[in-house]
Amino acid sequence: MDGIYLGVDIGATKTLILAASESGDILRGIKILTREEPGDHVEALTTAVEQLVTLVATVWKGTEVKGEAVKDAGAGGANLNLRCIKGIGICCPGPVDPVRGIVVSPPNLPCWRDFPLVEILKDRYGCPVKMENDADAAGLAEYHYGAGRGSKLMVYMTVSTGVGSGIIRDGEIVRGANGAHPELGHHVVDPSGPMCSCGCRGCLEAFISGSSIKRNYGISPEEAADPAIWGEVGRWLGIGLGNVAAAIVPEVIVIGGGVAKAGERLLGPAREYLNNSLHMVSIPRVVLAELGDLIGGIGALAIIMGPGIKVDVTRSVDIITM
């Protein structure tokens, strides 16, 4: 085995790193805390990457990892070599600039403003590095390996603390003017509705996100058991998805994120609204995401490995926490 690819999913509190072989097998993973200062996080990331490559070398017991060895892998006797890294894919809370490789200004990581993460990792590892918005990466993962398989045009929406989205057409991320990322959670569904975190009033996010549910109903999504709450939240989701369907006409809309763990309590009312209100375009399938907590890491691998290498998502993956 000649090398590995890394998929790095940077969240507001934790970062997941997955290592995959050149044939697409996910070998191992490491989870670390996301540091507030980006420079500190790069150092923590470097340590985690070295540990992960060591773990992979032990998995490949006896397989030579080519190039300059930087430390011994231990029981397997294989050389740990950072030159075995063929590429790194990164997903990160937006906004990001994937062309310049810059983390622009993520609200939950304020110290990361205008941070040139891609350039730093390219210089450190001497390999290709690509970065995308976390919702786009998750959408890419679901399109190729999850609930969007077989579709031509898919919308992914993550409903968590906030609402993120990605549009995938023919296996490619759909971008707006100047490469901008579509923000489907921030179209207005009620101009007189509650204030959204973006500063606008009545965005879809202001009705269906986890923080909005807590504000609007006085209870967290995890604790909400009243069917009336989910009926109302699901209806607002349906209104938003109806607008998305009318404008984009996707075959399938995939819903992920923490709030989506409500399952059919959320999706049932949304589908009911769509079935009763969409008349001029075909009604898309509305389904739950399939890839679970690894979705960001798998999406990051898809970014760097491309459609020519199929990532195997059927095997269980050992994840250690540092």
Both 281 and 161 in a single domain? yes
The pLDDT of 275-292, averaged and rounded, is 96
Cβ atoms within 10 Å of 100's Cβ, excluding its own: 13
Both 181 and 265 in a single domain? yes
Q: Cα separations (Å) of 142 from 62, 124, 216, 320?
A: 35, 30, 30, 24
pLDDT at 119: 96
Asked if residue 70 is part of any domain, the answer here is no
Which residues, 6 or more positions from 136, have their beta carbon under 8 angstroms from its beta carbon?
91, 166, 173, 181, 299
- Is the pLDDT at 64 greater than 50? The verdict is no
Both 57 and 19 in a single domain? yes
CATH number, position 90 = 3.30.420.40
pLDDT at 2: 66
Asked if residue 142 is part of any domain, the answer here is no
C-alpha 278 chain-centroid distance:
29
Q: Per-residue b/e over 64-76, b at no fewer than 16 CB within 10 Å?
A: ebeeeeeeebeeb
pLDDT confidence bin for 77, thresholds 50/70/90: very low
pLDDT at 175: 92
Asked if residue 141 is part of any domain, the answer here is no
- Is the pLDDT at 178 greater than 90? The verdict is no
pLDDT at 137: 96
Both 187 and 103 in a single domain? no
CA gap 105, 25 in Å, rounded: 33
Q: Residues 141, 173: contact at Cβ < 8 Å?
A: no
Q: What residues pair up with 72 in beta bridges, in sequence order?
A: 79
Both 158 and 88 in a single domain? no
Q: Say which range, 227-231, 253-257, 274-278, 307-311, has the weakest mean pLDDT.
A: 307-311
**Token pair recorded at residue 78:** 């294989």
Asked if residue 140 is part of any domain, the answer here is no
SS3 content of the chain, % helix, strand, coil (to 5): 40, 25, 40
Both 96 and 214 in a single domain? no
- Is the pLDDT at 76 greater than 80? The verdict is no
* Burial class of residue 225 (count of CB atoms within 10 Å of its CB; 0-12, 13-18, 19+): exposed
Asked if residue 118 is part of any domain, the answer here is yes
Give the pTM: 0.89
* Tens-place pLDDT, residues 182-191: 999 999 999 9
pLDDT at 16: 96
User: Sheet harboring 4-10: ordered strands across?
Assistant: 129-133, 85-92, 4-10, 14-21, 26-33, 319-321
The pLDDT of 254-258, averaged and rounded, is 96
The pLDDT of 10-29, averaged and rounded, is 92
pLDDT at 82: 79
pLDDT at 59: 66
Domain assignment of residue 238, given as a range: 147-288
Both 83 and 171 in a single domain? no
Both 166 and 271 in a single domain? yes
Asked if residue 105 is part of any domain, the answer here is yes
- Is the pLDDT at 74 greater than 70? The verdict is no
- Is the pLDDT at 70 greater than 50? The verdict is no
pLDDT confidence bin for 55, thresholds 50/70/90: confident
Is the dihedral angle over the CA atoms 158, 163, 168, 172 positive or is it negative?
negative
* Tens-place pLDDT, residues 86-124: 999 999 988 899 999 999 988 888 899 999 999 999 999
pLDDT confidence bin for 156, thresholds 50/70/90: very high
pLDDT at 61: 56
Asked if residue 69 is part of any domain, the answer here is no
- Is the pLDDT at 148 greater than 90? The verdict is yes
pLDDT at 60: 63
Q: Token pair 């009318």 is at which residue?
A: 246
How many domains does the chain fold into? 2
Is the dihedral angle over the CA atoms 309, 34, 174, 253 positive or is it negative?
positive
The pLDDT of 57-76, averaged and rounded, is 46
Higher pLDDT, 32 or 108: 32
Both 156 and 276 in a single domain? yes
pLDDT at 72: 38
- Is the pLDDT at 78 greater than 60? The verdict is no
Asked if residue 27 is part of any domain, the answer here is yes
Both 207 and 114 in a single domain? no
* Tens-place pLDDT, residues 158-173: 999 899 999 999 999 9
Both 230 and 315 in a single domain? no
Both 35 and 109 in a single domain? yes
The pLDDT of 43-63, averaged and rounded, is 81
* Burial class of residue 159 (count of CB atoms within 10 Å of its CB; 0-12, 13-18, 19+): buried
110: cis peptide before it, omega within 30°? no
